[in-house]
Chains A and B, each alone.
Chain A
Amino acid sequence: MQADRIRIGRFLSLRSGGARLNTADALTYLYLTLGTVLMFGPVLWLVASSFKTQAGLVKYPPPLLPYQQVQVNVEGYDDPLPLFTVTGDDGSTRELAQVRRVGIEAQMVDPANPDAERVKVNIRQREPVEEVKLAWENYLDPLIELENFDFFTYLKNSVLVTSVATAITLVINSMAAFALSKYRFKGRDAVFVLFISTLMIPITVILVPVFLVITSIGWKNNLWGVIIPGAATPTGIFLLRQYMLTIPDELLDAARIDGASEWHIYWRIILPLARPALAVLAIFSVMWRWNDFLWPLIVLSQNDYFTLQVGLNAFQGELQIQWHYVLAMTVVTLLPITLVFAFLQRFITTGIATTGMK
């Protein structure tokens, strides 16, 4: 019993078990392996699915890789014919191309010997011959072909909204967090409680009033209408405030004695010290804005102003969803955010390291 507790304890403690692999290490790597499969598997599957054709997407059970049926050109036929593996009654197999199918009977021809007589095959005895083939058209159509889907305009708007909104969020949230953590003014705690409690209300439940405010300001079909309302994030203020509480007040006092202005203290002392928290908030803001859908859909109704998420959802119709485009464009929207993450992730690493050394 005691030994168990120690083992669990070692697993839970900061220190690793030493040079040799012990139970705790084994458990650790087991957890990490399972975690990797669970966390990353579904995403990889999304990417694989985005390369499937419309017909491939509806296939059950879903094949892992994007397969398409092999088509062969047969002498004497104008169009390429689909290729099948046919199992004879005696169990022998051969590859035949299908000319046409009538009811449950398929008329097939041997592609190597097109002049030979056509073979009649029960459709239960044939299996399509498939090859891995990527349906690039899922990507290329929306980017180039489809006139009503202006990818590059949407991309521009998304980048604009995400970058401006993130900049504004970082600045004003850190200012507010600074005020809430480092100043003693009347009503401070009340403001904090007000922020945290009312901002817990998701915008989903006050859509109509906010819509009215936006239209009366004239921000309907204006990117500012998407950027500004969500800039005062509760998560950001809360995160930054908690972090700034750990910055010693003596640092500020010392700077004040040196004659630094409050703005200077905010910009030169607080912000650099709060870098890890800011990096976390930056990732989050980018993610929220990039993925935001419900609110932009209300503010934006003209395609010159659409963000990618709004544009992408236009593939969802009344009676049909054009999945092949939805998936491909989803993968496209994942790329930039993955890059941003890969980039900012290093700032977090260094950020955490520096705080650790302090």
Chain B
Amino acid sequence: MAGIRKEANTLRLIALLDPLTRPLLLLLVTAIDGILKPVQRRVGIDKMGYIFILPNLLIFGIFVLFPMLLNFYYAMTGGTRLFPEDRPFVGLDNFATLFDCENFTQPNSCQEDLFWRGVFNTVAYVVFQVSAIVLFSLITALVLNRQIVARGFFRSVFFYPVLLSPVVVALIWKWVLQHEGVLNGIIEILGGESKRWLLDPNWAMFWVVFVSVWALMGFYTLILLAGLQSIPPELYEASSIDGANGWQDFRFVTMPLLMPTMFVVLVLSLIRAVQMFDQIFVLTGGGPGTRTQLLVQYIYTTGFSNQIQLFGLSAAASMVLGVSLLILTLLQLRLGNQSSLA
């Protein structure tokens, strides 16, 4: 098998470095063990959980939790000074500004119209993007799981765009989609009519979703593929003895066993979708107009790229985003509990 030979070659390469790294790593690991053993004797096995989670929790506390608390304080201050102590306390004014609306379904009637446009666009984007990603990575994983030639090659091909930075992805597609770009060229050769893809509000949203599916799908395909391959083949044999057809196999064997993996994909893609920023920023700049401007872009522009940086308002908007995310996550975990986390 060529694959195994290649594998052996790589391992041999590493083996060359091994005499150098092995003692070093061994020393490190033994040292940690030496420190942790007495700790374990004192606290018992179950409480070692705290020890293992500590490094993560520290970094998390300093660089995520504390800044978020600070952010909460920023949300209740006004002015344009950087340091919190220089900023006047304004209570809930910033939140009042955000929610100052005559009619919440009409962004133009709101004081901060761009915030509400961002909210609506984000909801639409997340719904479309997550369903498209789940659908297409499932199909691709199923295809790649079949007995095909050059599976490794095709798997890499579908994964490759994941390696590109969001900015590069956006630039590539911007060129493809512009009026004189490659796509219109191909369409005209096929006898179709060229189009300003990113100028039509609905098409713009379509392409923004399409491009992020293009860029991210490979990752989720990989996870689903791993899930598919971990389904024991005996189950299919058993079901075929029972006279099941392909569709029934899929419906009653593949899907139930794939559910935990699907849940992982759903959660991860949702997180990424809500965080989406640079890619759209470069691809459409949030346009046409504000049609693809998401909430994160509003937060970024208000607090950061405007000449007069309104940290308070921006922080208030990110608090709103944070609270919605929290609710969403709790809902998801509850759903997940029923399927996989039980």
A and B touch in the complex (CB under 8 A): yes
Q: Which residues of A contact B (CB under 8 A)?
A: 5-16, 24-25, 28-29, 31-32, 35-36, 38-40, 42-43, 45-46, 49, 60-62, 171-173, 175-176, 178-180, 182-185, 188, 191, 193, 195-202, 204-210, 212-213, 228-232, 234-235, 237-239, 242, 246, 256, 261-264, 266-267, 276, 280, 284, 287, 291, 293-294, 309, 330, 333-334, 337-338, 341-343, 345-346, 348-350, 352-353, 355-356
Instruction: Report the interface size for chain B: residues with CB under 8 A from the other chain.
Output: 116
B284 within 8 A of A: no
- List 8 tightest A-B contacts by C-beta distance, closest first: A9-B247, A9-B246, A183-B49, A291-B165, A209-B67, A10-B246, A202-B275, A179-B52
Provide 13 A-B residue pairs closer than 8 Å at the C-beta atoms, listed in order of the A residue. A12-B250, A13-B250, A14-B231, A15-B246, A16-B147, A28-B143, A39-B160, A42-B176, A43-B160, A46-B168, A175-B52, A201-B321, A262-B51
Contact code string B159-186 (vs A, CB < 8 Å = 1, else 0): 1111111111000110110001110010
Contact call A12/B147, Cβ cutoff below 8 A: no
- Interface members, chain B 56-104 (any A CB < 8 Å): 56-57, 59-60, 62-68, 70-71, 74, 82-84
In the assembled complex, the Cα of A207 lies from the Cα of B71 at a distance in Å of 9
Contact call B56/A172, Cβ cutoff below 8 A: yes
Task: Provide the main secondary structure of the chain A interface.
Answer: helix
B40 within 8 A of A: yes
In the assembled complex, the Cα of A325 lies from the Cα of B231 at a distance in Å of 48
Contact code string B304-342 (vs A, CB < 8 Å = 1, else 0): 100000010011011001100110011001000000100
- Given contacts A185-B47, A197-B326, A213-B66, list 15 more A-B pairs with CB under 8 A: A9-B246, A9-B248, A12-B254, A24-B146, A31-B140, A35-B140, A35-B157, A179-B48, A202-B274, A208-B74, A208-B303, A229-B63, A333-B165, A345-B156, A346-B10
Chain A residues whose C-beta falls within 8 Å of the C-beta of B156 in the assembled complex: 341-342, 345
Q: Contacts A197-B330, A352-B226 known; A262 to B60 CB distance under 8 Å? A: no
Q: Contacts A198-B322, A208-B311 known; A213 to B67 CB distance under 8 Å? A: yes
Q: Which residue of A lies closest to B172 (CB)?
A: A42
Chain B residues whose C-beta falls within 8 Å of the C-beta of A246 in the assembled complex: 230
